[in-house]
């Protein structure tokens, strides 16, 4: 869409998603927040100072509230499973057994999502024997609640669900793995409010956000996820765990194997021991410390208040202002802009950077300014219609400019015909082998938002790519 525009200047940006805190917040923790954070957490969830106060909540009170939510989740799951089994025409014995699935006190992992294959729901099931040992540890039992649905036409997604349901029926998993059908907001609320830990295992870099993970820390849960989507921004050492370290492999099967091994190892050797390490009063102090870190660092950032504010400030308000300006006086400015764009498009063919003139000495001392002049053929365009810039930066080994910066050049005089000499300076701020080139784009000072939207850009040289000049090393 924007040929010739360096990637870091493309007019595409992103805003990280957020969750609506009050929708996902359980009552028990809301009461603790009222008491220890004050009323502002409710109106101003983006205030980091307010969330810092979670450290004031006594461990025992936080743990008691959280345990009640886990118990409630287990009750909800049993009831829902019973209805699921009845609808499927399961045997009476099976339906009765649903009353005893899960343990209200065991480390409880939630995994709920659309079963798109990139989400790799079965990563944790890849070694059933090892998983069975972890889940059925007599001292440190672990259980997993799955929920989700696949698009009716997504056959691989449906196959994943079939595998989970099938595995959950095996004797060693019957009490430890549950699959809930018809994942919806009600199911999601029970889950994010009651689990100890939320797991996400997407194949990098396919997860856009993984918003469900943000619903968990407002309820005291902790995330355990591949470094992808929001977790790349949300994870800090000590507020949750990662599966793998964000490395990529060419072979997806090998990557699955590496990451499932990492997952089992973390669960077995780090996460479960922390959860089951109790103080004399049966409180997992270290676990609660991580819970509080998670609440402190995630809740202020990943909510819809922050998200909407960012959309408004960065996009909506500038767009509204631009639109008002264009449409005022029977769209006078819009007409003018359309006329200007048509003119520039027609006359652009003649535009050319005829010559660059710069000192070719080898070294420039740091702190100095390096002058550059360029002769520009503007054809019938006026200097007001264009922006001429020096584009400069460090050179990579192939002579390409990395992380380019720009300096605006100013017209010096007319050089006859449509030729204009421009001049500018490069500030020599850093040492190393650097290069520069010159480029020209249409520019209309009345419409600064439309910087690249004509799609027109011309670089010095034949191939229109940034061209390095003589290598120059700055004195240190």
Ligand X SMILES: *Cc1c(COP(=O)(O)O)cnc(C)c1O
Binding residues vs ligand X (CB under 6 A): 113, 183-185, 188, 209-212
- Residue 138 sits at the vertex; the CA angle it makes with 135 and 143, to the nearest 5 degrees, is 25
> φ and ψ at 124, to 5 degrees?
-75, -15
**Gyration radius of the chain over CA positions:** 30
Query: What are the CA-CA distances from residue 402 to residues 231, 405, 434, 460 (Å)?
Result: 28, 9, 9, 17
Cβ distance to ligand X smaller for residue 111 or 275:
111
Which DSSP symbol is given to 217?
G
> 198 by DSSP, 3-state: which?
strand
Cβ 143 vs Cβ 101: under 8 Å: no
> φ and ψ at 178, to 5 degrees?
-125, 140
| Beta strands 410-414; 419-427: pairing state | antiparallel
The candidate with the shortest Cα–Cα distance to 20, out of 45, 49, 54, 40, is: 45
> 351 by DSSP, 3-state: which?
coil
- Contacts with 253 (C-beta within 8 Å, 6 or more apart), sequence order: none
Residue 287 burial class via C-beta count within 10 angstroms: exposed 0-12, middle 13-18, buried 19 and up:
buried
Structure tokens belonging to residue 48: 């980091």
The candidate with the shortest Cα–Cα distance to 409, out of 421, 422, 398, is: 422
């Amino acid at each position: 869409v924007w040929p010739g525009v360096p990637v870091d200047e493309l007019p595409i940006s992103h805003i990280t998603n957020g969750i609506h805190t009050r929708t996902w917040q359980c009552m028990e923790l809301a009461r603790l927040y009222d008491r220890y954070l004050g009323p502002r957490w409710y109106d101003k969830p983006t205030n980091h100072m307010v969330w810092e106060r979670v450290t004031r909540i006594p461990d025992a009170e936080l743990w008691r509230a959280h345990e009640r939510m886990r118990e409630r989740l287990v009750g909800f799951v049993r009831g829902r499973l019973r209805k699921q089994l009845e609808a499927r025409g399961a045997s009476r014995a099976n339906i009765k057994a649903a009353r005893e699935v899960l343990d209200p006190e065991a480390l409880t992992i939630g995994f709920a999502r659309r079963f798109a294959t990139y989400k790799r729901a079965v990563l944790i099931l890849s070694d059933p024997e090892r998983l069975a040992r972890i889940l059925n540890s007599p001292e440190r039992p672990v259980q997993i609640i799955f929920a989700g649905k696949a698009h009716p036409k997504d056959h691989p997604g449906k196959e994943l669900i079939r595998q989970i349901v099938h595995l959950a029926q095996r004797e060693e998993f019957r009490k430890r793995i549950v699959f809930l059908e018809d994942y919806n907001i009600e199911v999601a609320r029970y889950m994010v409010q009651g689990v100890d830990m939320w797991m996400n295992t997407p194949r990098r870099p396919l997860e856009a956000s993984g918003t469900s993970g943000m619903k968990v820390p407002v309820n005291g849960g902790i995330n355990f996820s591949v470094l992808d989507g929001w977790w790349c921004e949300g994870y800090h050492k000590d507020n949750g765990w990662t599966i793998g370290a964000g490395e990529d492999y060419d072979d997806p099967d090998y990557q699955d194997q590496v990451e499932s091994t990492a997952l089992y190892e973390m669960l077995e050797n780090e996460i479960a021991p922390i959860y089951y390490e109790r103080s004399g009063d049966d409180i997992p102090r270290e676990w609660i410390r991580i819970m509080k870190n998670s609440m402190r660092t995630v809740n202020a950032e990943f909510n819809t208040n922050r998200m909407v504010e960012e959309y408004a400030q960065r996009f909506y308000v500038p767009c509204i202002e631009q639109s008002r300006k264009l449409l005022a006086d029977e769209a006078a400015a819009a007409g003018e802009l359309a006329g200007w764009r048509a003119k520039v498009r027609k006359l652009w063919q003649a535009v050319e950077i005829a010559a660059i003139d710069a000192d070719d000495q080898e070294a420039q001392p740091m702190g100095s300014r390096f002058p550059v002049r360029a002769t520009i053929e503007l054809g019938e365009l006026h200097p007001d219609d264009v922006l001429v810039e020096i584009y400069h930066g460090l050179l990579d080994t192939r002579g390409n400019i990395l992380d380019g910066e720009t300096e605006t050049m100013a017209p010096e005089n007319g050089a006859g015909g449509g030729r204009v000499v421009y001049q500018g300076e490069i500030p020599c701020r850093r040492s190393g082998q650097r290069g520069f080139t010159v480029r020209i784009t249409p520019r209309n000072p009345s419409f600064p938002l439309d910087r690249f939207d004509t799609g027109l850009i011309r670089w010095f040289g034949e191939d229109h790519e940034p061209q390095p000049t003589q290598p120059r090393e700055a004195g240190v």
